[in-house]
Copies of this chain bind each other. A is one copy, B any other.
Amino acid sequence: MNDRIDVLGIGNAIVDVLARAEDSFLAARGLEKGTMHLVDAGEADALYAAIGPAVEISGGSAANTIAGLASFGSSAQFIGIVSDDQLGGVFRHDIGSLGVRFDTAPHSGGAPTARCLVLVTPDGERTMNTFLGASQQLGPDDVDEASVARADIVYLEGYLFDPPAAKEAFYKAARLAHGNGGRVALSLSDPFCVDRHREEFRVFVKDEVDILFANEAEIVSLYQAPGFAEAREAVRKEVPLAVLTRSEKGSVIVAGPQEHSVKARSVAKVVDTTGAGDLFAAGFLHGLCKGRPLTDCARLGALAASEVISHIGARPQVNLAELAKGAGLGD
Protein backbone atom coordinates (compact mmCIF):
# COMPACT_ATOMS: atom_id res chain seq x y z
CA MET A 1 0.00 0.00 0.00
CA ASN A 2 1.18 3.47 -0.84
CA ASP A 3 0.03 5.10 2.35
CA ARG A 4 1.78 2.80 4.82
CA ILE A 5 3.50 4.65 7.64
CA ASP A 6 6.36 3.69 9.88
CA VAL A 7 4.93 4.76 13.25
CA LEU A 8 1.55 5.86 14.57
CA GLY A 9 1.87 7.66 17.90
CA ILE A 10 -1.05 8.01 20.28
CA GLY A 11 -0.64 10.34 23.21
CA ASN A 12 -1.55 13.46 25.12
CA ALA A 13 -1.44 16.55 22.88
CA ILE A 14 0.34 19.08 25.07
CA VAL A 15 2.02 22.47 24.77
CA ASP A 16 4.94 22.84 27.18
CA VAL A 17 5.36 26.05 29.16
CA LEU A 18 9.04 26.03 30.17
CA ALA A 19 10.48 28.25 32.88
CA ARG A 20 13.65 28.21 34.93
CA ALA A 21 13.26 27.51 38.64
CA GLU A 22 15.52 27.06 41.63
CA ASP A 23 15.56 23.83 43.65
CA SER A 24 14.14 25.78 46.59
CA PHE A 25 11.06 26.63 44.52
CA LEU A 26 10.38 22.91 43.96
CA ALA A 27 11.03 22.11 47.61
CA ALA A 28 8.64 24.81 48.85
CA ARG A 29 5.86 23.29 46.75
CA GLY A 30 6.63 19.65 47.49
CA LEU A 31 7.41 18.89 43.85
CA GLU A 32 9.68 15.87 43.37
CA LYS A 33 12.40 16.75 40.89
CA GLY A 34 12.51 14.81 37.65
CA THR A 35 8.95 13.53 37.80
CA MET A 36 5.55 14.46 36.37
CA HIS A 37 2.65 15.68 38.53
CA LEU A 38 -0.91 15.93 37.32
CA VAL A 39 -2.54 19.25 38.24
CA ASP A 40 -6.07 20.56 37.78
CA ALA A 41 -6.93 23.89 36.15
CA GLY A 42 -6.77 25.81 39.42
CA GLU A 43 -3.42 24.33 40.43
CA ALA A 44 -2.05 25.01 36.95
CA ASP A 45 -3.12 28.66 37.15
CA ALA A 46 -1.67 29.11 40.64
CA LEU A 47 1.64 27.55 39.65
CA TYR A 48 1.79 29.60 36.45
CA ALA A 49 1.25 32.78 38.46
CA ALA A 50 4.19 31.84 40.69
CA ILE A 51 6.77 31.06 38.00
CA GLY A 52 8.95 33.47 36.05
CA PRO A 53 8.89 34.27 32.33
CA ALA A 54 8.26 31.18 30.23
CA VAL A 55 8.61 29.89 26.70
CA GLU A 56 5.87 27.94 24.93
CA ILE A 57 6.96 24.95 22.82
CA SER A 58 4.89 22.01 21.60
CA GLY A 59 5.38 18.91 23.72
CA GLY A 60 3.62 15.72 24.78
CA SER A 61 5.62 12.53 25.21
CA ALA A 62 4.51 10.44 22.22
CA ALA A 63 4.10 13.63 20.16
CA ASN A 64 7.76 14.50 20.82
CA THR A 65 8.76 11.02 19.67
CA ILE A 66 6.67 11.34 16.52
CA ALA A 67 8.17 14.79 15.81
CA GLY A 68 11.63 13.24 16.19
CA LEU A 69 10.76 10.37 13.87
CA ALA A 70 9.57 12.83 11.21
CA SER A 71 12.77 14.83 11.60
CA PHE A 72 14.77 11.63 11.00
CA GLY A 73 12.75 11.03 7.84
CA SER A 74 10.38 8.30 9.03
CA SER A 75 6.75 8.57 8.01
CA ALA A 76 4.50 9.13 10.99
CA GLN A 77 1.01 9.92 12.19
CA PHE A 78 -0.24 11.24 15.52
CA ILE A 79 -3.57 10.82 17.31
CA GLY A 80 -4.39 13.10 20.24
CA ILE A 81 -6.90 15.78 21.25
CA VAL A 82 -6.38 19.53 21.32
CA SER A 83 -9.00 22.24 21.78
CA ASP A 84 -9.65 24.74 18.98
CA ASP A 85 -7.84 27.46 20.96
CA GLN A 86 -4.55 29.24 20.21
CA LEU A 87 -2.32 26.67 21.91
CA GLY A 88 -4.17 23.92 20.05
CA GLY A 89 -3.29 25.76 16.85
CA VAL A 90 0.35 25.91 17.96
CA PHE A 91 0.42 22.15 18.61
CA ARG A 92 -1.24 21.38 15.26
CA HIS A 93 1.06 23.69 13.34
CA ASP A 94 4.25 22.37 14.86
CA ILE A 95 3.59 18.68 14.33
CA GLY A 96 2.00 19.21 10.91
CA SER A 97 4.89 21.34 9.68
CA LEU A 98 7.17 18.32 10.11
CA GLY A 99 5.07 16.32 7.67
CA VAL A 100 3.30 14.31 10.38
CA ARG A 101 -0.27 13.34 9.57
CA PHE A 102 -2.54 14.64 12.35
CA ASP A 103 -6.22 14.23 11.48
CA THR A 104 -7.79 14.20 14.95
CA ALA A 105 -10.40 16.97 14.97
CA PRO A 106 -9.97 19.60 17.69
CA HIS A 107 -12.65 19.77 20.39
CA SER A 108 -14.67 22.98 20.80
CA GLY A 109 -15.99 24.84 23.78
CA GLY A 110 -14.74 22.44 26.43
CA ALA A 111 -11.46 22.17 28.29
CA PRO A 112 -8.54 24.13 26.80
CA THR A 113 -5.55 22.48 25.12
CA ALA A 114 -3.36 20.61 27.60
CA ARG A 115 -0.39 22.45 29.09
CA CYS A 116 2.61 21.15 30.93
CA LEU A 117 4.38 23.64 33.20
CA VAL A 118 7.97 22.44 33.01
CA LEU A 119 10.30 23.78 35.69
CA VAL A 120 13.94 23.52 34.62
CA THR A 121 16.42 23.63 37.52
CA PRO A 122 20.02 24.87 37.18
CA ASP A 123 21.24 21.25 36.76
CA GLY A 124 19.15 20.93 33.56
CA GLU A 125 16.68 18.50 35.20
CA ARG A 126 12.99 19.10 34.48
CA THR A 127 10.00 18.74 36.78
CA MET A 128 6.66 18.60 35.02
CA ASN A 129 3.20 19.72 36.09
CA THR A 130 0.59 18.65 33.60
CA PHE A 131 -2.92 20.02 33.20
CA LEU A 132 -4.46 17.45 30.85
CA GLY A 133 -7.29 19.71 29.63
CA ALA A 134 -8.69 18.62 26.27
CA SER A 135 -6.14 15.82 25.84
CA GLN A 136 -7.90 13.63 28.39
CA GLN A 137 -10.96 13.52 26.15
CA LEU A 138 -9.14 11.07 23.90
CA GLY A 139 -11.25 7.93 23.68
CA PRO A 140 -11.51 4.70 21.71
CA ASP A 141 -13.54 6.39 18.94
CA ASP A 142 -10.53 8.54 18.12
CA VAL A 143 -8.50 5.45 17.22
CA ASP A 144 -9.64 4.29 13.79
CA GLU A 145 -8.73 0.91 12.40
CA ALA A 146 -7.50 2.30 9.06
CA SER A 147 -4.86 4.44 10.79
CA VAL A 148 -3.66 1.61 12.99
CA ALA A 149 -3.63 -0.87 10.11
CA ARG A 150 -1.39 1.41 8.04
CA ALA A 151 1.32 1.58 10.71
CA ASP A 152 4.22 -0.83 11.13
CA ILE A 153 4.52 0.23 14.78
CA VAL A 154 1.94 1.78 17.10
CA TYR A 155 3.68 3.80 19.81
CA LEU A 156 1.85 4.52 23.07
CA GLU A 157 2.90 6.67 26.03
CA GLY A 158 2.32 5.38 29.54
CA TYR A 159 0.78 8.71 30.52
CA LEU A 160 -2.33 7.61 28.57
CA PHE A 161 -3.09 5.31 31.51
CA ASP A 162 -4.01 8.41 33.55
CA PRO A 163 -7.12 9.60 31.69
CA PRO A 164 -9.66 6.71 31.87
CA ALA A 165 -11.04 7.09 28.33
CA ALA A 166 -7.53 7.25 26.90
CA LYS A 167 -6.68 3.92 28.51
CA GLU A 168 -9.51 2.33 26.53
CA ALA A 169 -8.16 3.93 23.36
CA PHE A 170 -4.78 2.48 24.28
CA TYR A 171 -6.13 -1.10 24.53
CA LYS A 172 -8.11 -0.72 21.34
CA ALA A 173 -5.01 0.46 19.46
CA ALA A 174 -2.97 -2.47 20.72
CA ARG A 175 -5.59 -5.03 19.70
CA LEU A 176 -6.01 -3.44 16.26
CA ALA A 177 -2.25 -3.31 15.73
CA HIS A 178 -1.80 -6.97 16.48
CA GLY A 179 -4.84 -7.86 14.40
CA ASN A 180 -3.22 -6.12 11.44
CA GLY A 181 0.29 -7.49 11.78
CA GLY A 182 1.77 -4.41 13.44
CA ARG A 183 3.93 -4.14 16.54
CA VAL A 184 3.05 -2.32 19.75
CA ALA A 185 5.62 -0.10 21.45
CA LEU A 186 5.10 1.42 24.89
CA SER A 187 7.05 4.01 26.84
CA LEU A 188 6.56 3.77 30.61
CA SER A 189 6.80 7.60 30.82
CA ASP A 190 7.48 8.23 34.53
CA PRO A 191 8.12 6.27 37.74
CA PHE A 192 5.13 7.93 39.45
CA CYS A 193 2.95 6.96 36.50
CA VAL A 194 4.18 3.36 36.86
CA ASP A 195 3.36 3.50 40.58
CA ARG A 196 -0.16 4.70 39.86
CA HIS A 197 -0.88 1.91 37.36
CA ARG A 198 1.59 -0.88 38.17
CA GLU A 199 -0.74 -3.86 38.05
CA GLU A 200 -2.40 -2.81 34.81
CA PHE A 201 0.97 -2.00 33.25
CA ARG A 202 2.27 -5.45 34.22
CA VAL A 203 -0.61 -7.19 32.47
CA PHE A 204 -0.48 -4.94 29.42
CA VAL A 205 3.30 -5.23 29.03
CA LYS A 206 3.21 -9.01 29.25
CA ASP A 207 0.21 -9.48 26.95
CA GLU A 208 0.50 -6.73 24.37
CA VAL A 209 3.88 -5.00 24.23
CA ASP A 210 6.48 -5.92 21.60
CA ILE A 211 8.89 -3.05 22.27
CA LEU A 212 9.17 -1.50 25.72
CA PHE A 213 10.97 1.78 26.50
CA ALA A 214 11.80 2.47 30.14
CA ASN A 215 14.42 4.24 32.17
CA GLU A 216 16.05 2.69 35.20
CA ALA A 217 13.60 4.09 37.79
CA GLU A 218 10.61 3.00 35.71
CA ILE A 219 11.68 -0.57 35.03
CA VAL A 220 12.71 -1.06 38.68
CA SER A 221 9.33 0.30 39.77
CA LEU A 222 7.40 -1.84 37.28
CA TYR A 223 8.84 -5.07 38.67
CA GLN A 224 9.42 -3.75 42.18
CA ALA A 225 12.88 -5.13 41.73
CA PRO A 226 15.74 -4.64 44.22
CA GLY A 227 17.90 -3.16 41.46
CA PHE A 228 18.45 -2.67 37.74
CA ALA A 229 19.95 -6.14 37.15
CA GLU A 230 16.87 -7.90 38.56
CA ALA A 231 14.49 -5.64 36.64
CA ARG A 232 16.42 -6.36 33.43
CA GLU A 233 16.03 -10.11 33.94
CA ALA A 234 12.32 -9.71 34.69
CA VAL A 235 11.64 -7.76 31.49
CA ARG A 236 13.74 -10.22 29.45
CA LYS A 237 11.20 -12.95 30.21
CA GLU A 238 8.18 -10.85 29.31
CA VAL A 239 8.94 -8.56 26.35
CA PRO A 240 10.60 -9.44 23.03
CA LEU A 241 12.53 -6.15 22.88
CA ALA A 242 13.21 -3.88 25.85
CA VAL A 243 15.08 -0.59 25.52
CA LEU A 244 16.36 0.47 28.93
CA THR A 245 17.88 3.94 29.19
CA ARG A 246 20.16 4.96 32.04
CA SER A 247 20.88 8.66 31.35
CA GLU A 248 24.65 9.29 31.19
CA LYS A 249 25.31 5.57 31.77
CA GLY A 250 23.94 4.81 28.31
CA SER A 251 21.37 2.23 27.30
CA VAL A 252 20.88 -1.52 27.50
CA ILE A 253 18.95 -3.29 24.76
CA VAL A 254 17.45 -6.62 25.86
CA ALA A 255 16.25 -8.88 23.04
CA GLY A 256 15.63 -12.24 24.64
CA PRO A 257 19.01 -13.89 25.24
CA GLN A 258 20.79 -11.12 23.32
CA GLU A 259 21.88 -7.98 25.08
CA HIS A 260 23.67 -4.84 23.87
CA SER A 261 25.05 -1.92 25.84
CA VAL A 262 25.49 1.40 24.07
CA LYS A 263 27.18 4.47 25.56
CA ALA A 264 25.45 7.81 25.97
CA ARG A 265 26.79 10.69 23.88
CA SER A 266 28.57 13.34 25.87
CA VAL A 267 27.04 16.82 25.76
CA ALA A 268 28.96 20.06 26.35
CA LYS A 269 26.25 21.34 28.68
CA VAL A 270 22.95 19.76 29.69
CA VAL A 271 20.56 22.71 29.35
CA ASP A 272 17.19 20.99 29.72
CA THR A 273 16.52 17.25 29.90
CA THR A 274 12.88 17.65 28.80
CA GLY A 275 12.21 15.13 26.04
CA ALA A 276 15.39 13.07 26.45
CA GLY A 277 13.52 9.77 26.73
CA ASP A 278 11.05 10.73 24.01
CA LEU A 279 13.81 11.53 21.55
CA PHE A 280 15.79 8.41 22.45
CA ALA A 281 12.68 6.45 21.47
CA ALA A 282 12.45 8.44 18.22
CA GLY A 283 15.99 7.57 17.19
CA PHE A 284 15.62 3.93 18.21
CA LEU A 285 12.33 3.44 16.36
CA HIS A 286 13.68 5.19 13.26
CA GLY A 287 16.58 2.75 13.16
CA LEU A 288 14.23 -0.17 13.71
CA CYS A 289 11.94 0.92 10.87
CA LYS A 290 14.96 1.19 8.58
CA GLY A 291 16.07 -2.33 9.49
CA ARG A 292 19.27 -1.22 11.24
CA PRO A 293 21.11 -3.40 13.80
CA LEU A 294 19.92 -2.86 17.38
CA THR A 295 23.18 -1.19 18.38
CA ASP A 296 22.73 1.37 15.60
CA CYS A 297 19.15 1.92 16.74
CA ALA A 298 20.43 2.71 20.24
CA ARG A 299 23.12 5.01 18.83
CA LEU A 300 20.47 6.91 16.88
CA GLY A 301 18.46 7.18 20.10
CA ALA A 302 21.46 8.50 22.01
CA LEU A 303 22.17 11.00 19.23
CA ALA A 304 18.63 12.42 19.26
CA ALA A 305 18.59 12.55 23.06
CA SER A 306 21.90 14.42 23.13
CA GLU A 307 20.51 17.03 20.71
CA VAL A 308 17.34 17.67 22.69
CA ILE A 309 19.04 18.06 26.08
CA SER A 310 21.42 20.68 24.71
CA HIS A 311 18.66 23.31 24.41
CA ILE A 312 15.35 24.37 25.96
CA GLY A 313 12.33 22.31 24.89
CA ALA A 314 11.50 18.74 23.95
CA ARG A 315 11.42 19.08 20.17
CA PRO A 316 14.57 18.86 18.03
CA GLN A 317 15.99 22.19 16.83
CA VAL A 318 17.94 20.70 13.95
CA ASN A 319 17.10 18.22 11.20
CA LEU A 320 17.84 14.84 12.77
CA ALA A 321 18.40 13.12 9.40
CA GLU A 322 21.25 15.55 8.72
CA LEU A 323 22.55 15.18 12.27
CA ALA A 324 22.59 11.39 11.85
CA LYS A 325 24.41 11.71 8.52
CA GLY A 326 27.05 13.94 10.13
CA ALA A 327 27.52 11.37 12.89
CA GLY A 328 28.03 8.52 10.41
CA LEU A 329 24.59 7.09 11.23
CA GLY A 330 22.65 8.27 8.16
CA ASP A 331 20.16 6.08 6.34
Q: Residue A258 at the B interface, CB < 8 A?
A: no
**Contact B55–A97 (Cβ < 8 Å):** no
Q: Residue A58 at the B interface, CB < 8 A?
A: yes
Segment of A45-53, A158-166, A237-245 in the binding face: A45-53
Q: CA–CA, A52 to B100, complex, Å? A: 12
Chain B residues with CB under 8 Å of A53's CB are: 58, 67, 93-95, 97-98, 315
Q: CA–CA, A113 to B87, complex, Å? A: 13
**Contact B55–A55 (Cβ < 8 Å):** yes
Q: CA–CA, A312 to B311, complex, Å? A: 10
**Chain B residue at minimum C-beta to C-beta distance from A51:** B97
Q: Residue A210 at the B interface, CB < 8 A?
A: no
Chain B residues with CB under 8 Å of A87's CB are: 86
Interface residues of A in 97-153 (CB under 8 A from B): 97-98, 112-113
Name A56's contact: one of B56, B85, B312 (CB within 8 Å): B56
**Chain B residue at minimum C-beta to C-beta distance from A85:** B86
Q: A63 to nearest B CB, angstroms?
A: 11
Chain B residues with CB under 8 Å of A329's CB are: none
Chain B residues with CB under 8 Å of A57's CB are: 55-56
* Chain A contacts to B: CB under 8 angstroms: 20, 48-49, 51-58, 67, 85-87, 90, 93-95, 97-98, 112-113, 312-313, 315, 317
Q: Which 4 A-B pairs have the closest CB atoms?
A: A56-B56, A86-B86, A53-B94, A52-B97
Given contacts A55-B57, A55-B313, A312-B312, 17 further A-B contacts (CB under 8 A): A20-B317, A52-B98, A53-B67, A53-B93, A53-B94, A53-B95, A53-B97, A53-B315, A54-B90, A54-B94, A54-B97, A55-B56, A56-B56, A56-B57, A85-B85, A86-B86, A86-B87
Mind listing 22 A-B residue pairs with CB under 8 Å?
A: A20-B317, A48-B93, A49-B93, A52-B97, A53-B58, A53-B67, A53-B93, A53-B95, A53-B98, A54-B90, A54-B93, A54-B94, A55-B55, A55-B57, A56-B56, A56-B57, A56-B90, A85-B85, A85-B86, A86-B86, A86-B112, A312-B312
